[in-house]
Amino acid sequence: MLKKLTLAAVLALTPLAQAEVVDDPALTEPEITITHDGESTYYEYTVNGQLREIKVVPKVGKPYYLVPADGSKFIRVEESQLLIPKWVIFRW
């Protein structure tokens, strides 16, 4: 009985978690535009009207990303630079 009362008291004194709405443009989901050509598929990620990165998926080889560098130039990287929640459900 004492354990139940102690547990009830602890739960009563524990503050409730509150959801916080964050209105941060950096955390918004990107718009994705998919285009194809004969050799590759391109996924253009745009956040708030600004092109953030391009994922290139070639027919042969591993996918890679193009991210903006100085001015209108893009550099190639192997991992995405966007902070988007991503989960792998199955991989084989």
Assigned token pair, 47? 């956040």
Write down all domains in the chain, each with its CATH number in brackets: 27-82 (2.20.130.30)
The residue ranges of DSSP E strands in the chain, in sequence order, are: 31-36, 40-47, 50-58, 64-68, 74-77
Instruction: Say if residues 38 and 28 touch (Cβ distance below 8 Å).
Output: no
Return the higher-pLDDT residue of 23 and 53: 53
pLDDT in tens, 61-74: 899 988 888 777 88
Q: Which residue carries 């991992």 as its tokens?
A: 79
| pTM (2 d.p.) | 0.57
| pLDDT of res. 11 | 61
- Cα(79)–Cα(92) distance, integer angstroms: 20
Instruction: Say if residues 63 and 56 touch (Cβ distance below 8 Å).
Output: yes
| pLDDT of res. 74 | 83
pLDDT in tens, 24-57: 555 567 788 999 998 999 999 888 888 888 899 9
pLDDT reading at 7 higher than 90: no
